[in-house]
C-alpha cells in the first residue's frame, strides 16, 4: 500500500484550519493523529488531494476536570487519556483506552479522531454515550454542541460538516453513588478490534434502587448505539442478575450485527447480551466499592 500524492498543510489556529478548508473544500481532509485516515487513503477507502494538519491547534489540547464536568481536547492522544488521573464514573473511559491498539498507535491516535472516523467498532463512543457526553464542533459561524449519542449517522459518517473541527469532548459530572464500565470481546490482545462491546452507567439512590442508567453497545450495528429501551427497563429497579438479563435482551434486540471474518452475526448478538450484563454488573460493583 502506498500513500497517494497529497499536499500537506499545517494549521496552527482554528481560523487557519477554516481558511485552508475554505480554499480546498471537498478535496481536503483534516488530519490529526492519522491512524485511521492515512490507512484509508492508502487503501482508497478515502480520497483527498490536500491534508490539513490540525495537530498544532492548542485550543484542541488538554484535559480539564471541574465542577461542571470533564473536558477532553480532541487532540488529546489515547495514551494521554489513558494516563490521566480520572475518578469516579469518568475512570471507566480508561476501560476503553487501555485496550485500544498497541502503544505506538495509542501515542498517535487522538480522542477526537476515534469519534470523527466513525468506525462502528471504535472503543470510545459506547462509554462516552453511556456517560452522557457531547462534542463541540467549531466553525467560523460558531460552535455546535452535539450529544455523542446523536453524532453518528452511519459507518464512517457523522453530523460533522466538512468545514467543522471537532474541538472537544465534554462529559458531565455524575451524581453521587454512580458507577460506569466498558467491556468488549476481541479475538486476541494487542491490535485486535472489538467483535462486540458494551458500556453501562448506573446511579443508585439511598435505597439501593437505580435512579438513572444508560447502556450503549458497539461493533454490532452500523453505528454505536445508545439503547434507550434498556435504560427504561433499569430505572426504578433494584440491581439483580435477572434485571441484567432483561437489559441484555433489550440490547440484543437493538443490535444489527453482520457476519464477517471475525464473527458471525449470531455470535455477535449473543456476545452483546453477555457483555451488557457484565458491564452493568461491573458498573454497580464500582458504585458499591466507592461507597463502602
Q: Residue 16, CB half-sphere, CA atoms under 13 Å: how many?
A: 13
pLDDT surpasses 70 at 290: no
Q: Residues 54-63: pLDDT tens digits?
A: 999 999 999 9
Buried/exposed code over 242-252 (b: 16+ C-beta within 10 A; e: otherwise) = ebbeebbbbbb
pLDDT computed for residue 256 by the predictor: 98
Start and end residues for every CATH 3.30.390.50 domain found in the chain: 178-291
Q: What is the pLDDT of residue 1?
A: 62
pLDDT, mean over the chain? 95
How far is the first Cα of the chain from the last one, in angstroms, to the nearest whole number?
54
pLDDT band at 292 (very low <50, low <70, confident <90, very high): very low
- DSSP codes joined into one string, 79-117: HHHHHS---GGGGGHHHHHTTSS-HHHHTT-BHHHHHHT
Report pLDDT digits (tens) over 206-251.
999 999 999 999 999 999 999 999 999 999 999 999 999 999 999 9
Model pTM above 0.85: yes
Delimit the CATH 3.30.43.10 region(s) of the chain. 7-53
Element (H, E) at 124: helix 124-130
> Higher confidence at residue 290 or residue 284?
284
Tens digits of residue pLDDT in 121-154: 999 999 999 999 999 999 999 999 999 999 999 9
Give CA–CA dist 244/281, Å, rounded. 7
pLDDT of residue 291: 53
Decide the pairing of beta strands 196-204 and 142-147. unpaired
Of 34-38, 118-122, 164-168, the one with minimum mean pLDDT is 34-38
State what percent of residues in the chain have pLDDT above 90: 87
Q: Are 114 and 105 in contact (CB under 8 A)?
A: no
Cell triple for 227: 439503547
Query: pLDDT value at position 39?
Result: 87
CATH class of domain segment(s) 59-171? alpha beta
10 Å CB burial of residue 213 (0-12, 13-18, 19+) is buried
Secondary structure class of 226 (helix, strand, coil): strand
**pLDDT of the residue at 135:** 98
Whole-Å CA distances, 269 to 38, 72, 198, 274, 283: 31, 32, 12, 9, 21
Q: Is the pLDDT of residue 255 over 50?
A: yes
SS3 246: helix
Give the CATH fold of the 7-53 domain.
Answer: 3.30.43
- What share of the chain in percent tops pLDDT 70? 97
Domain ranges in the chain with CATH number 3.30.465.10: 59-171
Domain 178-291 has CATH 3.30.390.50: yes
Instruction: Kindly indicate the confidence band of residue 192, based on its pLDDT and cuts at 50, 70 and 90.
Output: confident
**pLDDT single digits (tens) 195-207:** 999 999 999 999 9
> How large is the average pLDDT for residues 4-33?
95
What's the mean pLDDT in 89-117?
96
Phi-psi sector, 78: left (phi>0), alpha (psi -120 to 50), beta: alpha
The torsion angle over the Cα atoms of residues 34, 140, 142 and 131, rounded to 10 degrees, is: 0
Amino acid at each position: 500500500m502506498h500513500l497517494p500524492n497529497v499536499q500537506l498543510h499545517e494549521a496552527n489556529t482554528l481560523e487557519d484550519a477554516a481558511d485552508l478548508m475554505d480554499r480546498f473544500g471537498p478535496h481536503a481532509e483534516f488530519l490529526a493523529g492519522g491512524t485511521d485516515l492515512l490507512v484509508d487513503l492508502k487503501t482508497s477507502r478515502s480520497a483527498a488531494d490536500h491534508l490539513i494538519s490540525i495537530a498544532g491547534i492548542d485550543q484542541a489540547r488538554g484535559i480539564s476536570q471541574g465542577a461542571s464536568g470533564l473536558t477532553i481536547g480532541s487532540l488529546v492522544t489515547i495514551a494521554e487519556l489513558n494516563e490521566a488521573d480520572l475518578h469516579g464514573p469518568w475512570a471507566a473511559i480508561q476501560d476503553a483506552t487501555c485496550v485500544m491498539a498497541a502503544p505506538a498507535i495509542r501515542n498517535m491516535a487522538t480522542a477526537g479522531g476515534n469519534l470523527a472516523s466513525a468506525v462502528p467498532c471504535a472503543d470510545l463512543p459506547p462509554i462516552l454515550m453511556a456517560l452522557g457526553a457531547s462534542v463541540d464542533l467549531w466553525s467560523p459561524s460558531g460552535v455546535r454542541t452535539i450529544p455523542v449519542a446523536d453524532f453518528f449517522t452511519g459507518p464512517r459518517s457523522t453530523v460533522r460538516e466538512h468545514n467543522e473541527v471537532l474541538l472537544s469532548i465534554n462529559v458531565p459530572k455524575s451524581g453521587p453513588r454512580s458507577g460506569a464500565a466498558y467491556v468488549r470481546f476481541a479475538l486476541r490482545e494487542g491490535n485486535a478490534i472489538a467483535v462486540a462491546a458494551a458500556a453501562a452507567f448506573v446511579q443508585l439512590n439511598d435505597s439501593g434502587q437505580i435512579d438513572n442508567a444508560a447502556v450503549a453497545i458497539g461493533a454490532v450495528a452500523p453505528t454505536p448505539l445508545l439503547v434507550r429501551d434498556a435504560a427504561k427497563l433499569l430505572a426504578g429497579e433494584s440491581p439483580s442478575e435477572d434485571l441484567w438479563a432483561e437489559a441484555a435482551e433489550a440490547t440484543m434486540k437493538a443490535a444489527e450485527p453482520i457476519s464477517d471474518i471475525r464473527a458471525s452475526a449470531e455470535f455477535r448478538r449473543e456476545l452483546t447480551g453477555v457483555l451488557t450484563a457484565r458491564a452493568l454488573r461491573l458498573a454497580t460493583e464500582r458504585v458499591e466499592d466507592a461507597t463502602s
